[in-house]
Amino acid sequence: MMDNLNKIAIIGGTGKVGRRIAVKALENGYQVRMLVRTPKKLSLNDDRIEIVEGAVQNREDIQKLLKDCQIVINTFGQPLKEKPIYSSVTKTIIEIMAELQIERYIGVTGGSLTISNDKKSLINRLGAKLFENFYSDMMIDKKKEWDFLNSNEQIEKWTLIRLPFITDQEDIGYIKENLTDLPGIKITNGDIATFIINQIEDSKYIQKAPFISN
């Protein structure tokens, strides 16, 4: 495969999904740069991956990560007990992307996020309500993240992918997609990585929040 001159910045690359995205991106000829808080803890050893040591909360670290990149993939996941910062992290990323004239942003969120035009089944509505009750601060912040993306005038080519429960395994190769309801209860992180890399050049879900599952 010919080398793709495009460089992908990955936020959340040390997570199980992020690591698979990095590998899948390399397989598809992309260059990869990852933001890593503690590089020595990184289990993915590949000389082709450029590492930026830093924290997602630090604007200067994000700027350093994004410089000279053409695509940003955000799979940041935070510890449950900490104050949610999804919306503020995404806002910072989008602002810096605009400054650097980077056009393509792909993020992930939970299938429990409900937005206008959703037509969730009863079981999925109940599941979303449980998340809103038990993880209210997180869900408020995830909705804030969606509202920011949906109203931002800086970056047009964004996609926010809504995920069900994730299993840590290779891709099965079969992915269900739906814009209004969760089509299944789980997905492998291998399939998430495949789907995300496929979205880079695909305009089907620009400014949309598709659900995916196996």
pLDDT in tens, 81-104: 789 999 999 999 999 999 999 999
pTM score > 0.85 for this model?
yes
Q: How confident is the model at residue 42 (pLDDT cuts 50, 70, 90)?
A: confident
**Is 2 inside any structural domain?**
no
The span from the CA of 203 to the CA of 34, in Å, is 24
H-type alpha helices, the chain: 16-27, 59-66, 86-100, 122-134, 136-151, 189-199
Is a pLDDT exceeding 70 seen at residue 3?
Answer: no
Beta-bridge partners for 157: 104
**Is 209 inside any structural domain?**
yes
Q: Are the C-beta atoms of 89 and 56 separated by less than 8 Å?
A: yes
Structural domain for 130, as ranges: 7-213
The span from the CA of 176 to the CA of 187, in Å, is 9
Tell me the C-alpha to C-alpha distance, in Å, between residue 148 and each of 8, 83, 162, 174, 194: 22, 18, 16, 31, 26
For the chain, the domain total comes to: 1
* Dihedral angle, C-alpha 74, 79, 81, 85, nearest 10 °: -20
**Is 118 inside any structural domain?**
yes
**Is 1 inside any structural domain?**
no
Q: Are the C-beta atoms of 15 and 21 separated by less than 8 Å?
A: no
**Is 93 inside any structural domain?**
yes
Is a pLDDT exceeding 50 seen at residue 183?
Answer: yes
Question: Which three-class secondary structure state does DSSP give residue 55?
Answer: coil
Is a pLDDT exceeding 80 seen at residue 163?
Answer: yes
Q: Are the C-beta atoms of 87 and 148 separated by less than 8 Å?
A: yes
Is a pLDDT exceeding 50 seen at residue 133?
Answer: yes
Residue with the two structure tokens 């997609």: 177
Residue with the two structure tokens 């999904």: 17
**Is 123 inside any structural domain?**
yes
CA angle 22/49/197 to nearest 5° reads 25
Beta-bridge partners for 104: 71, 157
Q: What is the pLDDT of residue 165?
A: 94
Q: What is the pLDDT of residue 115?
A: 96
Residue with the two structure tokens 């995920």: 163
Domain of 68, CATH number, reads: 3.40.50.720
Residue with the two structure tokens 């291998």: 190
| Average pLDDT rounded to a whole number, residues 189-195 | 97
DSSP string covering 6-34: -EEEEESTTSHHHHHHHHHHHHTT-EEEE
The span from the CA of 151 to the CA of 207, in Å, is 10
- Residues of the chain above pLDDT 90, percent: 84
Q: How confident is the model at residue 4 (pLDDT cuts 50, 70, 90)?
A: low
**Is 146 inside any structural domain?**
yes
DSSP conformation class of 208: B
Q: Are the C-beta atoms of 17 and 166 separated by less than 8 Å?
A: yes
